[in-house]
Amino acid sequence: MSAPGGAAAAPTRAEYCVIACAEAWRDAGEVLASPMGGVIPSVGARLARLTFAPDLLLTDGEALLVDADGTIEGWLPYRQHLELVGGGRRHVMMGASQIDRFGNQNIACIGDWAVPRRQLLGVRGAPVNTLNNPTSYWIPKHSRRVFVERVDMVCGVGYDRAARHPGTARFHRIPRVVSDLGVLDFATPDHAMRLASLHPGVSVEQVREATGFALVVPPEVPRTREPTAGELRLIREVIDPAGARDREVPDRAGV
């Protein structure tokens, strides 16, 4: 635990989420980090770039490759971005309106696709992402509405479906799912979703309660690691001084 008092306040829930997202890109090497699901994955990617993953490539959210300080180092318009996906030198973190136990993800619509109850974004690049480069997910509010038994429209391909197409899906990998409650992965014999770590202040029961399917829970679940003092300073003073992360995940650590 961090020491009470002093200049640095204790890490917030949002900051544990930033660390958990940043860790997705550890040891990724010289690949494009594509944080797409919200503010916290973006803060995480920049933190990784500034600390333990200095070789990462980042975009400005449009057509430019930029250093963490915004210096332009390259050009990546959509046409090249979509081809870079095919080359595999990328690890994307997408959002998910629904996700199931094997990591099938939906961002297209809720209800029957033909006439949806709620039209959402559409499949976007989820089908190509999941077959070509590692794809992680960020869920800012862990709930049974998101973690469902069956998604209404499979956009991002999960492990069960990938297994049916071993040739085409040979590059398929879902390294992690980060939520406001913890980190999940698929490191189980049948690639069913497993609770990999809990953010401090969260119980296994809370995660089970907020998940719409039976989660694999190991006997001992570790805590998401603590941010270092240097990482906290970077998050708070350099990357996100306006505190956008706290609006995405309000602090519940003290509750």
| Residue 144 or 165 having the CB closest to another protein | 165
| Residue 119 or 188 having the CB closest to another protein | 119
Composition of the chain by helix, strand, coil, percent to 5: 25, 20, 55
CA distance linking residue 217 with residue 87, whole number of Å: 35
Closest by alpha carbon to 105, among 156, 66, 166, 150? 156
Burial of 26 (0-12, 13-18, 19+ CB in 10 A): exposed
Query: Interface with another protein by CB under 8 A: which residues?
Result: 62-64, 75, 77-79, 82, 85-86, 108-109, 113-128, 130-132, 153-157, 161-162, 164-165, 167-170, 172
Q: Give me the least distance between CB of 115 and another protein, in Å please.
A: 4
Closest by alpha carbon to 34, among 139, 179, 133? 133
Complete edge-to-edge strand list for the sheet that includes strand 64-66: 58-59, 64-66, 72-75
For residue 6, CA distances in Å to 10, 14, 146, 232 come to 10, 20, 38, 14
Q: Give me the least distance between CB of 99 and another protein, in Å please.
A: 14
Helix or strand or coil: residue 177?
Answer: strand
Helix or strand or coil: residue 140?
Answer: coil
Q: Give me the least distance between CB of 253 and another protein, in Å please.
A: 28
Q: Give me the least distance between CB of 5 and another protein, in Å please.
A: 41
Q: Give me the least distance between CB of 148 and another protein, in Å please.
A: 14
| Residue 63 or 217 having the CB closest to another protein | 63
Q: Give me the least distance between CB of 226 and another protein, in Å please.
A: 33
